[in-house]
A and B are shown apart, each in its own frame.
Chain A
Amino acid sequence: MPGKRPLFELKGLEKSFGGLQVVAGLDLHVDEGEIVSLIGPNGAGKTTVFNLVTGIYAPDAGEIVFEGRNIAGLAPHKITRLGIARTFQTLRLFLNMTVKENVMAAAYGHTRSTAIEAVLRLPRARREEREIARFAEEKLAFFGPRLVGYRLDQPAYSLSYANRRRLEIARAMGANPRLLLLDEPAAGMNPAETHELTELIGRLRTDGGYTVLVIEHDMHVVEGISDRVVALDHGVKIAEGSFEEVATNELVIEAYLGLRATA
């Protein structure tokens, strides 16, 4: 789409840990309403890109542009407030809080009442509490009957693995982002759950209105959801395009399987 500025853009992003260059001059853009997949073998730097975007690491060089503004170097909570929320590959739920509280906690950034208002039970604090409770139930209802009903008030640790993955996504939705970063949402799920997740990511765009950047290893999921696929290896973009284009790219196959033996 010529002339239209992308929602989110990385320009020449660089990050190294000691002597190890993890992200090397990465350019990437995500347009409003797009679903883009980031693939690559283990250690390619995909999760590091997420950590850079969400402010957990500061980039060595380059720009991270969101809605026309360079957000590189901002604190993570400020970046989330601007409209980028993520899930964690390793699952970092608030295990001892209830399912509903997990989502409500993420609403901190878009509520305003102060501690004093809460102590005095002033109208704004009470109204916001009601609003985010309803808001959280709405977000959880996105996943069908799995996270609502009696589950709302159960501690997160009582959830099954797949439900925890779903709650991770619900919690990220709780921060009210425009751009969702999903880090391996299908990891550890069985084929039926994976299939359901593929559908769900599609609904995140159509029903939820989110733009999605997803890291995924499961090629069925990548094929099923992606408008565009970006492949990374050693922190460098090696291919970009439709799933078919990337999946047949020599460099990508090489990165995953190694060099073809030559006679």
Chain B
Amino acid sequence: MSELPGETRVGVDEWVAQHEERLEQRRGLAGLVERAFGYVPGSARLGAFALVAASLPFWMSRGDLFAYGIFTLLYILLGLGLNVVVGNAGLLDLGYVAFFGFGAYSYGLLSSAYYGNHWPAVATIPLIMVATAAVGLILGLSSRRLLGDYLAIVTLFFGQAFVVFVNAANPEVHGQGLTGGPNGIADIDPLGFFGYELTSRDQQFFFLLGVVVVVVAALHFLSESRTGRAWRALREDPLAAEAMSIPVNRLKLMAFAIGAAIAGLAGCIFASVLTAVTPGNFAVPILITIYAIVILGGIGSITGVVLGAIVINVSFQFLAPENPQSNARVLFLAVLLLLIVLAVRPWWLATAVVGAVVGLGLVAQAVVEAVAPTWTGGTVIEGGRLGGVIQDWVIIPSGHGDFGNFAYAALVVSVLVLTRLRSWARTVALVPTVYLAMIVWETSFVEQPAVARWILFGSLLVALMTVRPQGLLGTPRVEIV
């Protein structure tokens, strides 16, 4: 930057302006990774993602490809569409999942044995995307007058109304219920293009990967254009945006329509891959998952959506009921470790805490075993490779009934105590608390895998969002300064 002589104030201003940035600049390895990531251009990131993803079919089982590959890509697509509405334009649309359902059901009606329509995907996908965009436009009309929470309520009801419609209303058309009620629509055709059908998981995966790459690139270009800029402006301040020649209402409708069209596209692919759709596929839990993806990744960031979808879907599938309980234990241990590393600084103190937890466990287990063997006589449930270690480390009593519940109550109390403590006392108290958490896990949660999974998933999200409120790749937003 060229400076005029005597303009020293600019230098001072610069120093002051960058003060916050200097504070925020992360040191150490995490900071290095973060900065390096920032230098990689978007096209290279997208290329690397596509390359890694394209290798999946070559080493994954077909079942894993379905659960980890195809579902992650579907979630990415859904997250990208929601990100246009919520992230770019800042409109809280809680009816988003209805567009996904509308797309899926439309595809089911146009390409399945249900009504005997077998339209090829090359015709149905564009048609359904346009139709979904039109539905989005209609819902978007409510955003002309409603903002924030009010818009959220109206759109939430729209989403609920859709589920009720397909589930219960099910109007009779041509001798049978239009949406098949609770049973939904089955025997849906695979995607067909000019007589070529995508029947294998590999074909479906590669098609979906191509769609995701195209949508990511398109949305990136859109966000860098005058339209994307206008969306951000209206998110910041609709009145000022309107006064700066931006047609706010038209742009809101456009965001709704584009978001809905992407959800409709995801719906078509979803229906064809699953070959069946039921009302439950489009209920509130899916909506929450899509929101979690966008928020976790960092609202408004395309790379963030991709990362958020990967983190959430992979942990979802990793914890799926058909997977062994040891998966959940590994994740639980990882969360505990992550919490210690994030909560305790500097690194040597964190290491000391981890060491202390391990030491405490080994000593406590040995002492209890010597004094009262029945208190350590319990077996590790589905220990997996860690079974032996856990046996020697955690106190698992056998035949002491409610021990797990008491331990759980004690854990709650000690976590509460922990929040009241300060500085070194907190660090010291952290050690028994973490160990107690491990005992609770082994004596109580392992016996209730379904519950434990959700608690674990929830605490993972809470931990991540506490550490990075702006999401993994989001930029912290400033509301009022």
Contacts and interface: CB of A to CB of B under 8 A. Distances in A.
Contacts of B478: 95-96, 155, 157
Contacts of A54: 243
Interface string A12-31: 00000000000000000000
A94 B240 contact: yes
B10 A146 contact: yes
A77 B17 contact: no
A157 B17 CA distance: 10
Contacts of B254: 115
Interface in A88-138: 88, 92-97, 101, 104-111, 113-115, 118-121, 125, 128-129, 132
A185 interface: no
Contacts of A108: 226, 229-230, 233, 244-246
A129 B221 CA distance: 11
* Interface range for B: 35 or more
B322 interface: no
A150 B232 contact: no
B20 A145 contact: no
Nearest to A168: B240
A76 B242 CA distance: 6
Contacts of A107: 226
A141 B17 CA distance: 19
Contacts of A85: 243-245
Contacts, number: 130
A154 B17 contact: yes
A45 interface: no
Range of interface residues on A (Cβ < 8 Å):
35 or more
A189 interface: no
B266 to A, nearest CB: 18
Interface in A227-261: none
A120 to B, nearest CB: 8
Contacts of B230: 105, 108
A125 B223 CA distance: 13
Contact of A104 (B218, B229, B479): B229
Interface stretch (B1-9, B91-99, B424-432): B1-9
B247 interface: yes
Given A94-B232, A149-B1, A158-B20, A77 B246 contact: yes
B477 interface: yes
Contacts of B392: none
Given A105-B232, A119-B218, A96 B477 contact: yes
Contacts of B243: 54, 56, 76-77, 80, 85-86, 88
Contact of B226 (A80, A81, A128, A155): A128
A98 B4 CA distance: 24
B236 interface: yes
A92 B242 CA distance: 12
A160 to B, nearest CB: 7
Nearest to A112: B226
A190 B441 CA distance: 62
Contact of B245 (A97, A109, A114, A160): A109
Nearest to B19: A158
Contacts of A159: 17
B246 A92 contact: no
Contacts of A157: 478, 481
Nearest to B17: A158
Interface in B206-234: 218, 221-222, 224-230, 232-233
A145 B246 contact: no
B417 interface: no
A213 interface: no
A171 interface: yes
B221 A118 contact: yes
A115 B225 contact: yes
A148 B3 CA distance: 11
A219 interface: no
Contact of B246 (A105, A121, A132): A105
A88 to B, nearest CB: 7
A175 interface: yes
A109 B221 contact: no
B14 interface: yes
A59 interface: no
A132 B245 CA distance: 14
Given A85-B243, A155-B478, 9 more contacts: A85-B244, A105-B244, A111-B226, A113-B226, A115-B222, A119-B218, A128-B226, A132-B226, A159-B17
**4 closest A-B pairs (Cβ-Cβ)?**
A109-B245, A118-B225, A149-B1, A92-B240
